[in-house]
Homo-oligomer: A and B are copies of this chain.
Amino acid sequence: MTIRPTIADVAREAGVSKGLVSFALNDRPGVAAETRDRILSVANALGWRPSVRARSLSTDRSFALGLVIARDPEIISSDPFFPAFIAGIEGALAPAGQALVVSMVSNEEAEVASYRQLAAHDRVDGVILTDLRRNDPRIALLEGLRLKAVTLGHPDVESSFPAVAVDDGPGIHSAVEHLAALGHRRIAHVAGPSSMLHGGRRSQSFIDALRALGLASDLVVETDFSAAGGAKTTAALLDLDEPPTAIVFANDLMAIAGLGVAQRRGLRVPDDLSITGFDGSDIGAYLYPSLTTVTTPVLEWGRASAELLLRSVIGDDDVHDIELPAAQLLVRMSTAPPRTIR
């Protein structure tokens, strides 16, 4: 039963004052080199570690970052983004001695309550804002709460927070060009909600890409990123008098559900229908046919976000937006020339 040594123990043992110990341990000037060494060796010998709690109280910092995940309970288990993203965050936090506080909620009301709670309880120094929405109220909320933050992507409202962005555009463009090169002319898009910035951005990229190729872009259907939504929307597209020969889905989950719908109808993918996803989930590689998709550097996104937020928290001047490598097309087996030109 060894009681944990405090800074006072170190001071006594080294024959100096508490304050000087603090200076020595934080590498601050004003300590004679010799004294500093003595203090450090005593601290080491005693096995002294700073108390995060005491430091929190006196420095008004939590040494932790927060992540509030708002997801429909139905999607939450199948979303490949957050586990990888959290792993990325961890890569930046653990070496820095910081912790990650995670909150998972299922609706916007609970989401706001969660941010308020994190702030009221001083749980975190800053939060990572994901799934940016149009006119996102959370930005003003967080500013009001005096939390630091970084946003994943650039918000469409005035924001005092730095952004870490990955451009979806090139990936969607590549997907469309890939399909067009295979001979597809009637290409549909199953989009995420336009109320979400990345949902809207992906469908805009889709439309731009089609226009650039001189193709019609009337087959854009919006739904909610869920498997159920993807299935329903795919069914509706296939019910059209002139159904598409290829569908670009805004995420893998909807693409997988769409694949199931097509197969259930006896269509062969990719022969009768080509399909592309978005996310680059591993599971897509094991489906039959394996899913052509667009990959994003999720792990790196998490790491970079956490690092930037950490710098922002300590008041680093060098805090500015970061642009990560863009999303990239990963061609697998769910795309092929349309039946008509085979």
Q: Are B79 and A83 in contact (CB under 8 A)?
A: yes
Q: Given that A123-B52, A231-B286 are contacting pairs, would A103 and B90 also be in contact in the complex, using a CB cutoff of 8 Å?
A: yes
| A286 pairs with B256, CB closer than 8 A | yes
User: Of A130-138, A162-170, A195-203, A257-265, which binds chain B?
Assistant: A257-265
- A81-B86 Cα distance, complex, nearest whole Å: 15
As a 0/1 sequence over residues 287 to 298 of chain A, the CB contacts with chain B under 8 angstroms (1 = contact) are 110100000001
Interface residue A141 (Cβ < 8 Å from any Cβ of B): no
Residue from A63, A253, A264, A282 having most chain B Cβ neighbours under 10 A: A282
Complex: A205 Cα to B75 Cα, angstroms: 31
List chain B residues, Cβ under 8 A from A99: 101, 103, 118, 121, 123
CB distance from A236 to the nearest CB of B (A): 15
Cα A38 to Cα B287 in complex, Å, equals 66
Chain A 51-66 near chain B by CB (<8 Å), digits 1 or 0: 1111011000011100
The reply to whether B87 and A281 contact each other, CB–CB distance below 8 Å, is no
The 0/1 profile, CB within 8 Å of B marked 1, for residues 77-92 of chain A is: 1111111101100100
Nearest neighbor of A280 in chain B, beta-carbon distance: B77
Chain B residues near A53: list those with CB within 8 A. 53, 56-57, 62, 122
Asked if residues B114 and A94 are in contact (CB atoms below 8 Å), the reply is yes
Q: Which of B78, B94, B122 contacts A103 (CB 8 A)?
A: B94
Chain B residues with CB under 8 Å of A227's CB are 282-283, 285-286
Chain A interface residues toward B at CB < 8 A:
49, 51-54, 56-57, 62-64, 71, 73-84, 86-87, 90, 94, 97, 99-106, 110, 113-114, 117-118, 120-123, 227-228, 230-231, 253, 256-257, 259-261, 263-264, 281-283, 285-288, 290, 298-299
Complex A-B, nearest 7 residue pairs according to Cβ-Cβ distance, in ascending order? A263-B288, A77-B80, A257-B286, A102-B102, A260-B288, A78-B283, A76-B83
List 20 extra interface pairs beyond A64-B123, A77-B84, CB under 8 A. A49-B120, A52-B122, A53-B62, A76-B83, A77-B80, A77-B282, A77-B283, A78-B283, A86-B102, A87-B104, A90-B104, A99-B118, A99-B121, A101-B102, A102-B102, A253-B283, A256-B283, A256-B287, A259-B288, A260-B287
